[in-house]
Amino acid sequence: MEFRKHELANGLSIVAECNPDAHTTATGFFVNTGARDETDEVAGVSHFLEHMMFKGTPTRSADDVNREFDEMGADYNAFTSEENTVYYATVLPENQDRAVGLLADIVRPSLREDDFNTEKQVIIEEIRMYADQPPFGADDKIRARHFAGHPLGRSVLGTVDSVGGLAVDQMRDYFRRRYSPGNMTLVAAGRVDFDRLVGLAERICGGWETVATDRAVPAHASHAGFEALVKDSSAQEYIMQLANGPSATDPERFAAKLLAVIVGDDSGSRMFWELVDSGLAESASLAHHGYQGAGLFMSYLSCDPENAEDNLRRVEEIFCRVEREGVTPAELATAKSKTSSRVVLSGERPRGRLFNVGLNWLNRREYRSVKDDLDAIDGVTVEQIAGVLRRWPLSQTTTVAIGPLATMKAP
Amino acid sequence: MSQQIYTHVFDNGLTLLAEPIASLESAAFTLLLPAGFVYDRPDRVGVANFTCEMMLRGCGSRDSRAFVNDLDNLGVERGESCAASHMSFSGATRAANLMPTLSIYADLVRRPHLPGDQLEAGRAVVLQELQAIEDDPAHKVMVDLRRRHYGDPWGRPSAGEEATLESADIDELKAYFAQHSRPNGAILAVAGRVDWDATVREVGKLFGDWKPTDVPPPADVVHKRASHHEHHESNQTQIGVAYRSVPYNHPQYFQAWGAVGALSGGMSCRLFTEIRERRGLCYSVYASHHTLLDRGSVLCYAGTSAERAQETLDVLVAELKRLSAGIEPAELDRLKARVKSGLIMQQESSSARSGSIAREHYLLGRVRTLDELSQLVDAVTCASINEYLAANPPRDFVVATLGGAPLELPDGVS
């Protein structure tokens, strides 16, 4: 296992974890752009643009793009988050050149107007699909409320109105400003021929024009609040809560992850025993998400509307108690076993390593091996977790509930 | 790639399968217990799923807390479900922890407590599973599609019927367990960093003295397939379409599978191209081959806004019918490339392999090696697929829809 890196003259970074024993090669372009880099006028453009990347280039039609990925048997896709857009493919090692060549071509798309208009309908269907599924858009609402004006409060999907109103020139302008080589990283993991990778990137990407890019990382004030939204047709009540946590660059993020496992993992956690095993809730969980300059603890609860207020009070008690008393050494040891095992299992696939290597590079310009992560998990102490809880109390939350309840009281 | 798959059948009928993969640090298991929901009495659908839930609440020397806690300390990523033919228990962890994990699962399938004092908590869990499906229209329409297409017992909802879940008592669950949890017909598959001789020895100690019991096979009920619309307040209309195909063990399975592969799978496939790329009608559209032991089907899904649902259904059914005119060699070549990559990618996941070999053994009575599968896929020709399609054109469609208004059903729909 060897880490390699290189930077082209125009600023494109190339990083890879090369494992000669792997069966496959995973590769992708990680672009440092997402919803947080948008304005109201172009809300949803990052995600819409991600779709448009598969619609063809000056030398390939949309059908060519899809056909060529399928011809090499690639497992490929793309996703957009609040701060990243990622295009990736896993292929057999003999297809490394083809896969990288195709990915490098599609991230310089034609953005033709008729394709733009057709794809706009697909995006609107995607927005409507999520609007029909739990939590029925409450995830966007709570983010906007919690971050109140901060860029991380923006919706990845946008709305039917914002996407419907987008013009193709606005997207072209956003593309030109955000997809500069210095704002992108070519990442690979698994069985990688790194010298070939660099050579190919030099030929295809070396001529890409550099544009100055910037990202606002303003400080984020703490907002707490409570809102209940009514959705009569929903069978269950869904409650989300956000509290501040360590950012993606904070060394305390490992302690935060372990705390979330102890308090709110899907199974075996405090929330599991109190709410799920007992049958009081259909699901109850807590997770930590780190971003650039901010972090979140996000909890999710779904249950019979009748139990909602009582369950929310129980969650609050769990949060307050762990703030008061901390976690036990036995709980921490169990959380370490679970978390380490997950790191090992996901690390066995080049696909799993690709995301780890790529996101570490985007967030911190840092390479971390599987062993580095296992050591970091192993090193977390009970005292460190107590420190995390003092700095970022779980109980100071923004809460949004959605479901059939017409009135709901904050705990 | 050298690959060996080992099989051992114990005297009590339990089949043990193993696929050692030296390049992995992990090991995974899949345990299929022949106690799925098709064994429920027709008027008591849901007992199997409820029993499965209660089996997780303590076994052997462990109460429910010790059960979860010990698996967590072993780092086991686990999952369980109650499917048609089997209850399925699976897990993956670092290789050294596999045997201690299996000893816990031996208790689970042989000595569960099924504690009466946790019955109401378990009942709340399974009832809320039903509630969650009510809020998930894409899932709900496919549950309805299976029911309309397969009938009883194979098309039952896996979560069960509300009335049964409301009324079952602990004695009924204990009786279901006693009758159905058995080694004969059970399959235990392990994959990853495992040693075959040690595995046979240890598994023999854990499961060798488990006594077989006779259970009659589930009876098919005569069923008239029929389309159905259900009203649902939502932005989108959900569409499910099903038609008959052949099962995995059929000599023409790979032809049937190849035809579905032209419809759906990669982004160059017909449904994605015609419905999403050309017309922008949907975000999500797919078709998949679904196989049971003795019958197979193709199940299709599309979700779209109410005002575009009719066009979506019409185009979808037209594409299904167009399939009988045959597929192109290039479509088959792409499918072969996808499958071959997919088989190799599976080698990087112990849990993917343990699941695959367990299911294949159930469906075929043996496990093919990846080389054997690769050769079978290579041997599929466009001509053989088109011959199959000419003789078995997609037809007699059943349509399930969920949304604000029913759709007009195209010709050829039951």
Nearest Cβ partner for A129 among B232, B236, B344: B236
Backbone angles phi, psi at B245, to 5 degrees: -140, -160
Shared domain for B353 and B250, answered yes or no, is yes
What is the gyration radius of the CA atoms in chain A, in angstroms? 22
DSSP state of B406: -
| Contact at CB, A124 and B305, closer than 8 angstroms | yes
| Contact at CB, A279 and B93, closer than 8 angstroms | no
| Contact at CB, A66 and B273, closer than 8 angstroms | yes
* pLDDT band, very low/low/confident/very high, at A328 (cuts 50, 70, 90): very high
Nearest CA to A174 out of A205, A148, A143, A211 is that of A211
| Contact at CB, A348 and B338, closer than 8 angstroms | no
Closest residue in B to A66 (Cα) is: B268
Closest residue in A to B92 (Cα) is: A345
Nearest CA to B106 out of B121, B89, B123 is that of B89
Report the distance separating Cα B311 and Cα B307, nearest Å: 8
The label of the residue with tokens 């050494």 reads A329
Count Cβ atoms below 10 Å from residue A146 Cβ, excluding itself: 27
Report the percentage of chain B scoring pLDDT > 70: 100
Query: What pLDDT sits at residue A147?
Result: 94
Measured between beta carbons, which residues in chain A are less than 8 angstroms from residue B338?
Answer: 70, 73
End-to-end CA distance of chain A: 51
| Contact at CB, B125 and A276, closer than 8 angstroms | yes
Shared domain for B196 and B278, answered yes or no, is no
Q: A50 an active-site residue?
A: yes
| Contact at CB, B280 and A131, closer than 8 angstroms | no
Interface list for B 348-377 with A (CB within 8 A): 348-351
Q: Is residue B221 part of a domain?
A: no
Shared domain for B234 and B197, answered yes or no, is no
| Contact at CB, A349 and B349, closer than 8 angstroms | yes
The label of the residue with tokens 């599973």 reads B129
Q: pLDDT tens digits for A223-275?
A: 789 999 999 999 999 999 999 999 999 999 999 999 999 999 999 999 999 99
- Domain termination residue (choose one: B158, B176, B207): B207
Count Cβ atoms below 10 Å from residue A358 Cβ, excluding itself: 25
Shared domain for B194 and B79, answered yes or no, is yes
Q: pLDDT tens digits for B69-85?
A: 999 999 999 999 999 99
Q: pLDDT tens digits for A6-34?
A: 999 999 999 999 999 999 999 999 999 99
Query: What pLDDT sits at residue B220?
Result: 85
Q: Write the CA distances from B150 to A206, B84, B218, B256, integer angstroms.
A: 57, 11, 14, 18
Q: Is residue B306 part of a domain?
A: yes
Report the distance separating Cα B200 and Cα B197, nearest Å: 5
Nearest Cβ partner for B69 among A234, A268, A303: A268
Report the distance separating Cα A206 and Cα A398, nearest Å: 46
Report the distance separating Cα A241 and Cα A229, nearest Å: 14
Locate B117 and state its tokens.
Answer: 């004092």
* pLDDT band, very low/low/confident/very high, at A222 (cuts 50, 70, 90): confident
- Count how many domains chain B has: 2
Report the percentage of chain A scoring pLDDT > 70: 100
Which runs of consecutive H residues, i.e. helices, occur in A53-193? Answer: 62-71, 96-106, 113-131, 138-147, 160-164, 168-178
Report the distance separating Cα A152 and Cα A143, nearest Å: 7
Q: pLDDT tens digits for A108-128?
A: 999 999 999 999 999 999 999
Q: Is residue B408 part of a domain?
A: no
| pLDDT mean across residues, chain B | 96
What beta strand segments (E) does B141-235 contain?
187-192, 228-231
Residues 6+ apart with CB under 8 A from A380: A254, A255, A258, A332, A336
| Contact at CB, A278 and B65, closer than 8 angstroms | no
Report the distance separating Cα A85 and Cα B330, nearest Å: 32
Q: Is residue B363 part of a domain?
A: yes
Shared domain for B89 and B198, answered yes or no, is yes
Q: pLDDT tens digits for A37-66?
A: 999 999 999 999 999 999 999 999 999 999
Q: pLDDT tens digits for B319-328?
A: 999 999 999 9
- Domain termination residue (choose one: B143, B174, B207): B207
Report the percentage of chain A scoring pLDDT > 90: 96
Report the distance separating Cα B157 and Cα A256, nearest Å: 39
Shared domain for B158 and B265, answered yes or no, is no
Measured between beta carbons, which residues in chain A are less than 8 angstroms from residue B117?
Answer: none
Query: What pLDDT sits at residue B159?
Result: 97
Interface list for A 312-371 with B (CB within 8 A): 333-334, 337-338, 340-342, 344-345, 348-350
Shared domain for B45 and B138, answered yes or no, is yes
Count Cβ atoms below 10 Å from residue A20 Cβ, excluding itself: 11
Q: B213: distance to nearest CA of chain A, Å?
A: 32
Residue A239 touches partner B, C-beta closer than 8 Å: no
Count Cβ atoms below 10 Å from residue B171 Cβ, excluding itself: 10
Any idea how long chain A is? 411
Shared domain for B51 and B179, answered yes or no, is yes
Report the distance separating Cα A371 and Cα A364, nearest Å: 18
Q: Is residue B245 part of a domain?
A: yes
Locate B61 and state its tokens.
Answer: 């020397």
Which of A38, A50, A237, A252 is an active site residue? A50
Residue A280 touches partner B, C-beta closer than 8 Å: yes
Shared domain for B181 and B322, answered yes or no, is no
Q: B232: distance to nearest CA of chain A, Å?
A: 8
Q: B120: distance to nearest CA of chain A, Å?
A: 8
Q: pLDDT tens digits for B278-319?
A: 999 999 999 999 999 999 999 999 999 999 999 999 999 999
CATH number of residue B10's parent domain: 3.30.830.10
Nearest CA to A301 out of A257, A266, A260 is that of A266
Burial-class residue B390 by CB neighbours within 10 Å (0-12, 13-18, 19+): exposed
| Contact at CB, B280 and A120, closer than 8 angstroms | yes
Q: B101: distance to nearest CA of chain A, Å?
A: 14
* pLDDT band, very low/low/confident/very high, at B3 (cuts 50, 70, 90): confident
| Contact at CB, A133 and B280, closer than 8 angstroms | no
Residues 6+ apart with CB under 8 A from A116: A52, A55, A168, A171
Range of the domain at B373: 228-403
Locate B334 and state its tokens.
Answer: 């792409």
* pLDDT band, very low/low/confident/very high, at A220 (cuts 50, 70, 90): confident
Please state at what angle helix A113-131 crosses helix A168-178, rounded to 10 degrees: 90
End-to-end CA distance of chain B: 47
Choose the mutation target among B68, B72, B162 for the interface with A, i.e. most A CBs under 10 Å: B72
Shared domain for B201 and B254, answered yes or no, is no
* pLDDT band, very low/low/confident/very high, at A209 (cuts 50, 70, 90): very high
- Report the alpha-carbon angle A180-A182-A188, nearest 5: 105
Q: Is residue B61 part of a domain?
A: yes
Q: Is residue B132 part of a domain?
A: yes
- What mean pLDDT comes out for the span A217-226? 85
Nearest CA to A189 out of A317, A318, A369 is that of A369
Measured between beta carbons, which residues in chain A are less than 8 angstroms from residue B263?
Answer: none
- What mean pLDDT comes out for the span A132-144? 95
Closest residue in B to A133 (Cα) is: B136
| Contact at CB, B282 and A125, closer than 8 angstroms | yes
Shared domain for B49 and B187, answered yes or no, is yes
Shared domain for B192 and B85, answered yes or no, is yes
Q: pLDDT tens digits for B22-58?
A: 999 999 999 999 999 999 999 999 999 999 999 999 9
Measured between beta carbons, which residues in chain B are less than 8 angstroms from residue A67?
Answer: 268, 330, 334
Q: Which amino acid is at A28?
A: G
* pLDDT band, very low/low/confident/very high, at B168 (cuts 50, 70, 90): very high
What A383-389 contacts at long range (C-beta under 8 Å, 24+ apart), as own/partner pairs, is A384/A252, A384/A255, A385/A255, A385/A258, A385/A259, A385/A262, A385/A326, A385/A327, A385/A332, A386/A326, A386/A327, A387/A252, A387/A255, A388/A245, A388/A246, A388/A252, A388/A255, A388/A256, A388/A259, A389/A259, A389/A322, A389/A323, A389/A326
Residue B134 touches partner A, C-beta closer than 8 Å: yes
ipTM of this complex? 0.95
Does position A281 have pLDDT exceeding 60, yes or no? yes
Q: Which amino acid is at B374?
A: S
* pLDDT band, very low/low/confident/very high, at A77 (cuts 50, 70, 90): very high
Q: Is residue B215 part of a domain?
A: no
Helices and strands, number each (H, E), in chain B: 15, 13
Does position B1 have pLDDT exceeding 70, yes or no? no
